[in-house]
A = this chain, B = another copy of it.
Amino acid sequence: MSDAAWAHVCRSMEELRALAGAVNLLSWDQETYMPPRGAAARGEQLAALQGLGHERLVDPRLGEALERAEAAPGDEERRAALAALRFDRDRAVRVPVALVKELARSQSRGVQAWRTAREASAFARFAPELTHLVELRREMADALGVPPGGERYDALLEGYEPGMRVARLEPLLRRLAGWLAPLADRAASATVEDGFLRGRFEAGAQWDFTLELLEAMGFDLQAGRQDRSAHPFSTGIDPGDVRLTTRIHEELPLSAIFSTLHEGGHGLYEQGLPERWRGSVLGAAASYGLHESQSRLWENQVGRSLPFWRHFLPRLAARFPSLAGVPVEAFHRAANKVERTLIRVEADEVTYNLHIVLRFELEVALLRGQLQVADLPAAWSDRCAALLGVRPARDAEGCLQDIHWAWGEIGYFPTYTLGNLYAASLFAAAGRDLPGLEEEIGTGNLAPLLGWLREKVHRAGRTLPAEELVRRATGAGLTDEDLRRALTAKVERLCRT
């Protein structure tokens, strides 16, 4: 009896994965190759597939099969799959279909209003839609259920970072801001000569160098590919089909490099998910924060390190002779230049998390009702000045810079900082486990690091909560100590040389 139930659960999981894979491919194509006039039909295709996926997930027959399978759960792996599917299904079932549809409509209107508002730098044009979106997210949080002793924000956070709570994030981010701000001051005082990064760096040669990087990272181009898009992203259709994009600016040669390292890190995680879970809910990342840790680790811990550039600067200079005479220390300094600026996506490794603290504080306040949407620009401006030491002259450079809220995504931003923290802790643990890791990186051998990540992170899929997985890999849970240590050492070095 329970065998039949488990078989039903497996068929459902396979269908859900197939639908999700199709959605991911359609979304990838939308940003890469779709002709402009295909947009309307694409919207309908995505809505239809997502609707079908939701319908299958909440199907009462799946609910019955799941209950029967849970009654005789079998081995550990099966138990983990049942728990993960239960998690997804319960969240899907709890939100009324009417609310899902209203949210979809409002997101679409929200993004349109946000684009118009950002172009005109006029927050008022976006405010009504954002007010409605915040209201819908509050309703959604109530429908999902606020955890005991928690608050609405926790119910949303649970969708990105299962188990995480405002009560843990608030003190953590406060402490983080406490040491990041003076560190940013110290770092900004370092002299950075980066004139060699000015000029024109031909797109084709940049592209070839990013492919060289992907190959060095161990990204399997038989099981994935890189293309160009306006905003870099990555998507895992299957461990055998992982799509990355990068963005090339001919005047900003570091942009494509760090985009590729970042998206390549996401891609390695997706390629490292066990193939036997292709059709299972377990063949996925443990959390958004853990996913981000993989991109940040390759972008920052590896890609902004001195050993990395010892190996790769001569290779880059082989493609761009103007860099031939640049000392590696000077290049490393330029790749780590710290500045107090307004735009999150252009921020350096030190100030980046201050941008996240700003957004987290404001969205928690919005959801609690402590901050009204109309007061957001002023609040943004004040907190930005306090945290980052700069004040936006226009909303377009302030609270209108990110698309997340226009999508109604509230609770997403902290996963960026969780990713930075996990990345630092994982890299520190890899360094302890793998003596000579820096030397290997310095010779361009990134395989030992990838092997460690495969074993400690990728191959677990969704069998463990993110923090538990990190604890097993590093010996400790979520902490800002490793990032503090690494960034402090880096800044000291930059100020010394």
Q: Note all chain B residues with C-beta closer than 8 A to A14.
A: 44, 48
A279 contacts B44, CB within 8 Å? yes
Task: Give the residue of B17, B22, B35, B238 whose beta carbon is less than 8 angstroms from that of A22.
Answer: B22
Tell me, yes or no, whether A218 is within 8 Å of chain B by CB: no
Q: How far is the CA of A47 from the CA of B18 in the complex (A)?
A: 9
In the bound complex, do residue A38 and residue B278 qualify as a contact, i.e. CB atoms below 8 Å apart?
no
| B223-A15 in contact (CB<8A) | no
Q: In the complex the two chains form, is A237's CB within 8 Å of B48's CB? A: no
Contacts of A240 in B (CB 8 A): 35, 37-41
Residues of the B chain whose Cβ atoms lie less than 8 Å from the Cβ of A279:
44
Q: In the complex, what distance in Å separates the CA atom of A70 from the CA atom of B88?
A: 41
Q: How many copies make up the complex?
A: 2
Q: Would A35 and B278 count as touching, CB distance under 8 A?
A: no
Stretch at the interface among A25-33, A175-183, A305-313, A355-363: A25-33
| Residue A220 at the chain B interface, CB threshold 8 Å | yes
Contact B37 A22 (CB under 8 A): no
Closest to A240 in B: B37
Q: Mark A184-208, 1 if CB is under 8 A from B, else 0.
A: 0000000000000000000000000
Which residues of the other chain, B, contact A241 by a CB distance below 8 angstroms? Answer: 34-35, 37-38, 41-42
- The smallest C-beta distance from A113 to any residue of chain B, in angstroms, reads 24
Per-position contact with B for A3-22: 1 when CB-CB < 8 Å, else 0? 00000000000110111011
Which of B19, B25, B38, B224 contacts A237 (CB under 8 A)?
B38
A41 and B225: CB pair below 8 A? no
The tally of residues in A whose CB lies under 8 Å from a CB in B reads 39
Give the distance to chain B from A393, nearest Cβ to Cβ, in Å: 36
Query: Across the interface, do A29 and B25 meet the contact criterion of CB distance under 8 Å?
Result: yes
**Which residue from chain B places its CB closest to the CB of A29 in the assembled complex?**
B25
Say yes or no: is A45 at the interface (Cβ < 8 Å to chain B).
yes
Residue-wise interface mask of A (48-59) relative to B, using a CB-CB cutoff of 8 A (1 in contact, 0 not): 110010000000
What distance in Å separates the Cβ of A36 from its nearest Cβ neighbour in chain B?
A: 5
Residues of B within 8 A of A220 (CB): 37
Report yes or no: B44 in contact with A18, Cβ–Cβ below 8 A: yes
Check if A221 is an interface residue, CB within 8 A of chain B: yes
Q: Is A222 part of the binding interface, using a Cβ–Cβ cutoff of 8 Å?
A: yes
Name which residue of chain B comes closest to A220, CB basis: B37
Closest to A238 in B: B41
Q: How far does the alpha carbon of A19 sit from the alpha carbon of B18 in the complex, in Å?
A: 13
Min C-beta distance of A249 to chain B, whole Å? 24
| A23 to B, closest residue via Cβ | B22
Chain B residues with CB under 8 A of A15 = 48, 52
Q: Which residues of chain B come closer than 8 Å to A224, judged between CB atoms?
A: 35
Distance of A227 Cα from B48 Cα, bound (Å): 27
Q: List 16 A-B contacts (CB under 8 A).
A: A14-B44, A18-B47, A19-B48, A19-B49, A22-B26, A22-B49, A25-B45, A35-B222, A35-B240, A37-B222, A37-B223, A37-B241, A38-B238, A41-B237, A44-B278, A44-B279
The 9 closest A-B pairs by CB, nearest first: A38-B241, A41-B238, A37-B240, A18-B48, A37-B223, A18-B45, A22-B45, A21-B45, A38-B240
Known A18-B41, A41-B237; 5 more pairs at CB < 8 Å: A22-B22, A22-B45, A33-B33, A40-B238, A40-B240
